Structure 1
Amino acid sequence: MHQYKLFALTCGVFLALAGGCKRPEPVAPAPAKPAAIIPAPRELTAADGQFVVTADTPVSFESGSGGEAAARYLADLMQRTRGFALRPDASAKPDANGIIRFELTAGESRDGQDGYSLSISPQRIVVSAADSRGLFYGAVTLWQLMTPGAAADSIALPALAINDSPRFRWRGLMLDSARHFQSPQFIKQFIDWMALHKLNVLHWHLVDDQGWRLEIKKYPKLTSVGGWRVPAGPVAAADIDPATGKPRVYGGFYTQEEVRDIVAYAAERHIVIVPEIEMPGHASAAVAAYPELGVAGTKVPQVPADWGVYSTLFNVDDATFSFFEDVLTEVMALFPGEYIHVGGDEAVKDEWKGSPKIQAQMRKLGIKDEHGLQSYFIHRIEKFLNQHQRRLIGWDEILEGGLAPNATVMSWRGIDGAVAAATAGHDAVLAPQPALYFDNRQNGPNDPSPGRGWVISVESVYKFDPAPAALQPDQLKHILGLQAPIFTEHMRTEQRVEYMTFPRAAALAEVAWSPAERRDWADFQTRLPAQLGRYDALGIHYAPTDMALNAAAAGSQRRNSHQLNMCSDKLVLSLTDDAPLQGERAVFLVDIMNPCWIYQGADLSKASDLTAVVGQVPFNFQIGNDVKGIPLPKPQTPEGELEVRLDSCEGEKLATLPLAPATSQTLTSLPPAKIAPRAGQHDLCFIFTRKTVDPIWVIDSIELAATGE
């Protein structure tokens, strides 16, 4: 924690100790803790006195400057979150007392890009910066100082001085709208929340196997076909649309008019949107719309609904590159930022390897392997983007086969990709899995949220080190910053996106903005409650931060799947049930590669009844040949059984619960199994017998009870 020293000299003390005193030499104002500001500012110094803000306090600015936008944004925020009216007023004199003043300073900001100064004295509040971005961030900090709090006639702010600027220029979140479509209204709301954390890059994942979400006027089937799919599972398959006589489709897309509006909205909040158009993999939705883009001999009859990695690739014909140039021309017209993201990740090369035509093209081009062919693909796209004064960024697989000359690497497979890129003189952005992946759960056993099986807490995000030790100081300059990917396979609703993003976004913001020496987890925890109060005022559905097992849960003999241990850690997911079509759905923790659970430390001394509530979810995962390694314990009945074994998964069979009563798509409480009491505590292993991997049988809860309880 940045250490603050408090200096207090009083003549009375010296009179008592030394019989007299002289007037001390002037000293610097006392430094102070950064109140409840997140992210913590670079420098904050306390002063004497306070400034009282009332509804009559003018918010002054120079007409037509960036200060006007900042002043009006502050007034709007205060009205929305505290019901407190401020009065933007261009006519107020800059040096008047009793005002809030936004002013641009001449020349370069000494605080660097996005920097600002905030001064609160008993006479006035002044926010100053060299550009409109700095004024905006100063307004956000001032808003934080005045919130949270109930509506009041006045707000007393302690005098202080802040000089602030960010550590990194790239401070972002990646939002996946391909797996689940979010409304334009939600995207704008999400952008607003990002701005209030001083985040400045929205990496918008618009294209993937499961959906193409961006209108391309030259290729309308990308959205009319590629923007819709039938969700996985028998429940969705049975949901027939009377208009078509076929299963109802799910999806959506953003019109170009909507995108322009969103981009403009983001720009007003100093957020750049980086669109992602996937290539050469994650191509299923596009190939379903335009089969000629795929590798000859492969078919994608419809947009798929499975998660995971498909083998579908784009071919490398000139016509396909012409297609991408057409698409990217429209993309660049919509997104004026410097970067275009081309994906480049998880391009399984099986189709290229098996295609005589593509192998012949490789020989003609003098390319030795499929990694080299992907490099050729990315090089060719980068050349087109560079011709239009844009820069290419891609996931770290674009390093394989040779990195395009001007490419920037987004490192997701740990930090190694960023280290390799920076060492070679290329810029990089840190977005490592699992450390910054917000599709991982935030909390432990008492939080049955859908997501990946890892628990990535607010604390672990906060303690992420964005300065890889393997890099020298001159190489560290190539680390542009960091972002948290929000892949939405397990975030079916907009509310779930909020829940998985916040408050971890607050921790990410401080890592990206605040100086390394100012970061302190204990201090952050003291500031976080005020931030949660702001979330309440904004209507953000955030995750609780303390989800440890409480005493009641610890003493209970009932445990849900999240409170059970997994028998293995191969591919653990917290999966949402596929039913009902509307409303709340159950969530199950399961290792899809080995559906097996351990009830640890069960007290069997009085237990005589064991009740299991079970369900099933579709196996909609593309995992290649790994599916062959999933165990299928042989069932004794056509429907299968849930076996309970004592002390280990190879131990004595304690009970067998037939699954025949549970063949519907709803949760089923199986008839209780009788067990003989045993002395002491024992581990119980639960395994489903079954003939196929689909569906996945899952445990919702296990309860032990004495007869008659």
Structure 2
Amino acid sequence: MEKIIRTFSLVIFLGFITVVAVDGINLWPMPKSVSYGSLSLYLSKEFELRTDYKDASGILKEGFSRFLDVIESAHVVDGTVTGQAAALEGLHVVVSSSDDGLQFGIDESYKLSIPATGSPIYAHLEAQTVYGALHGLQTFSQLCHFNFTTRIIEVHRAPWVIIDRPRFSYRGLLIDTSRHYQPLPMIKNVIDAMAYTKLNVLHWHIVDTESFPLEIPSYPKLWNGAYSVSERYTTADAIEIVQYAQKRGINVLAEIDVPGHALSWGIGYPSLWPSLDCQQPLDVSNEFTFKVIDGILSDFSKVFKFRFVHLGGDEVDTSCWTVTPHVKKWLTKQGLNGSQAYEYFVLRTQKIALSHGYEIVNWEETFNNFGSKLSPKTVVHNWLGGGVAQKVVAAGLRCIVSNQDKWYLDHLDTSWQQFYMNEPLTNITNPKQQKLVIGGEVCMWGEHIDGSDIEQTIWPRAAAAAERLWTPFEKLAKDPKKVTGRLAHFRCLLNQRGVAAAPLAGPGRVAPDEPGSCYRQ
């Protein structure tokens, strides 16, 4: 460590290092601070990981193995080195904390140093947590290039010093497995690509009106609402997704959307419907409704370890309650109208979630209708449009920004430039209120999305938002034209890694216009 630091000081003194302009290098998302030199190194065939980190869960070791896989995935590395080229022998990783628990707000910072001289030459990665180290590995992977002459992996422009940390703690992507089932391998592909872009929350919108594909041991008939017997997720499948994501530094936010968007629940348990003719929202007058919700959240707490659970609460039409005789009678007895019953349902469900140790995320309608009565542990999830975050944080609640006009991936007319320029802190200038915007999320709703088109609909537009959420505000381009080449390069890198990211030249999931280079599409 001491030797490497002194080497860097000498290199800097000799003037080999230049501070890089934001659009001067092909890294995505752009780190907080980058400097580089002018020399090239090649990766030794015995390139190794050195660390004193205990790595009880194998997270660092597996992350290093994936790092080697992705840098070698595009071409067969079968060359030999001749001449005076210097070898990079390995990577020395120092992780300060032994705690590998993944939760909201953990330290994701890192410092990556790659010297140009020394004997032997080792890159050096420092991080407070193993998850910061994983981000450093992702950045390192983008510095590695295949040399078509020597057929080996090289690092150009050494020495490098990169100091980095995220702007927002919550950087999310929603997938919807109710409108169309997504096979486990495809969900894992999405998680891999999230890690490449440094997104860190997979919001799993598991169930909705159309289908209920998840096994709930406490109420096993719920997944009778799946499209078919093969389009289901077992509890073990859900655990596998959570663990797969966690090893990549990604939390899984599970959602049950109540009381609306829940018709599929009644396929297995018809008493959850107000009536056979009026099937949603869930029956607010039936105690069994809340027993089922309690059972689901109890089962969730054994699988989904993220601090938050998403309880939905959007687009609730209470007319079924007011026209169904037994529900109407209950409303009269309780002295509630439809909107008051909606409030009662949301607040009671919040209390159930709190009893299972969760903090709560609700869609913005709950705040718009009865915000002051929400639990102070509520995070309001904006989606209807701009201006909501301002009101939420002014009321002292936390907020996630997903305004549909800019960050809904199923809106195919929304371009990557609009994704890039969408600013979560628009018109929020008070520093205390700014901290209440915990981040943002791009949403891949599944009405027209299945395993055949999900990747090209998500990428590269989600990557454009990922830089907005990761990179310091002052480093973000004021004009997206300035990052077009760099994002095009990253999109091609995704393709090389097996991610079906669409061309930049057009909104949505466009096809290539004509024959040509990946970098110009």
Give the TM interval when normalised to the shorter protein: 0.7 to 0.9
SS in 2 for 1:56: strand
Partner of 1:104: 95
Partner of 2:177: 177
CA contact (8 A) 1:38 1:197 kept: yes
Q: Residue deviations 1:253-278, cap 9 Å, x none?
A: 10111111111101000111111111
- 1:274 aligned onto 2:253: yes
Q: Higher strand fraction: Structure 1 or Structure 2?
A: 1
- 1:137 aligned onto 2:156: no
Q: Residue deviations 1:524-570, cap 9 Å, x none?
A: 212123212212212222222224999x99xxxxxxxxxxxxxxxxx
CA contact (8 A) 2:170 2:438 kept: yes
Selected match of 2:498 from 519, 534, 539: 539
Q: Which amino acid aligns with 1:213?
A: P
SS in 2 for 1:254: coil
Distance verdict in 2 for CA 1:297–1:177, change over 3 Å: closer
- C-alpha separation between the residues in 2 aligned to 1:25 and 1:81? 37
CA contact (8 A) 2:409 2:444 kept: yes
TM-score normalised by length of structure 2: 0.84
Partner of 2:110: 116
Q: Residue deviations 1:210-240, cap 9 Å, x none?
A: 10021112322221x3002xxxxxxxxxxxx
Distance verdict in 2 for CA 1:148–1:519, change over 3 Å: farther
Cα deviation for residue 383 of structure 1 reads 1.3
Q: Residue deviations 1:36-76, cap 9 Å, x none?
A: 11000011122464433232333322363364343223123
Partner of 2:441: 483
Partner of 2:365: 397
Q: Residue deviations 1:569-592, cap 9 Å, x none?
A: xxxxxxxxxxxxxxxxxxxxxxxx
Cα deviation for residue 359 of structure 1 reads 3.8
Selected match of 1:380 from 338, 348, 357: 348
- C-alpha separation between the residues in 2 aligned to 1:25 and 1:215? 61
Structure 1: gaps (5+ residues)? 1-23, 87-95, 229-248, 301-310, 442-454, 554-709
Q: Residue deviations 1:157-179, cap 9 Å, x none?
A: 32121110000011010000100
Distance verdict in 2 for CA 1:41–1:356, change over 3 Å: same
Q: Which amino acid aligns with 2:138?
A: V
Partner of 1:153: 152
Distance verdict in 2 for CA 1:471–1:156, change over 3 Å: closer
CA contact (8 A) 2:54 2:98 kept: no
Partner of 2:65: 72
CA contact (8 A) 2:282 2:289 kept: no
Distance verdict in 2 for CA 1:313–1:428, change over 3 Å: same
SS in 2 for 1:35: coil
TM-score normalised by length of structure 1: 0.62
Distance verdict in 2 for CA 1:386–1:160, change over 3 Å: same
- C-alpha separation between the residues in 2 aligned to 1:289 and 1:545? 44
CA contact (8 A) 2:270 2:276 kept: no
Q: Which amino acid aligns with 2:470?
A: W
- C-alpha separation between the residues in 1 aligned to 2:266 and 2:71? 48
CA contact (8 A) 1:409 1:428 kept: yes
Partner of 1:562: none
Q: Which amino acid aligns with 1:287?
A: G
Which gives a bigger RCO, structure 1 or 2 (Cα 8 Å, sep 6+)?
2
Distance verdict in 2 for CA 1:419–1:213, change over 3 Å: farther
CA contact (8 A) 1:104 1:129 kept: yes
Say how many residue pairs are matched. 472
Selected match of 2:338 from 370, 373, 381: 370
- C-alpha separation between the residues in 1 aligned to 2:442 and 2:47? 39
- C-alpha separation between the residues in 1 aligned to 2:146 and 2:433? 41
Selected match of 1:44 from 30, 34, 52: 34
- 1:261 aligned onto 2:240: yes
SS in 1 for 2:488: helix
Cα deviation for residue 322 of structure 1 reads 0.8
Cα deviation for residue 324 of structure 1 reads 0.8
Q: Which amino acid aligns with 1:466?
A: P
Q: Which amino acid aligns with 2:114?
A: I
Cα deviation for residue 397 of structure 1 reads 1.2
Cα deviation for residue 288 of structure 1 reads 2.6
- 1:347 aligned onto 2:316: yes
Partner of 1:286: 265
Q: Which amino acid aligns with 1:384?
A: I
- C-alpha separation between the residues in 1 aligned to 2:88 and 2:229? 58
After TM superposition, the runs of 4+ consecutive aligned structure 1 residues lying more than 6 A away are 24-28
CA contact (8 A) 2:97 2:129 kept: no
SS in 2 for 1:477: helix
Map 1:678-693; keep pairs closer than 5 Å.
none
CA contact (8 A) 1:55 1:154 kept: no
SS in 1 for 2:239: helix
Q: Which amino acid aligns with 2:487?
A: L
- 1:527 aligned onto 2:486: yes
Structure 2: gaps (5+ residues)? 1-11, 80-86, 100-104, 515-521
Map 1:318-329; keep pairs closer than 5 Å.
318-329=287-298
Partner of 2:466: 509
- C-alpha separation between the residues in 2 aligned to 1:251 and 1:209? 19
Partner of 2:383: 412
Cα deviation for residue 29 of structure 1 reads 4.1
SS in 2 for 1:156: strand
Q: Which amino acid aligns with 1:456?
A: T
CA contact (8 A) 2:314 2:364 kept: yes
Cα deviation for residue 299 of structure 1 reads 5.0
CA contact (8 A) 1:61 1:67 kept: no
Q: Which amino acid aligns with 2:485?
A: T
CA RMSD of aligned residues (A): 2.9
Q: Residue deviations 1:395-419, cap 9 Å, x none?
A: 1111113442121111001134322
Cα deviation for residue 80 of structure 1 reads 2.9
Q: Which amino acid aligns with 1:314?
A: D
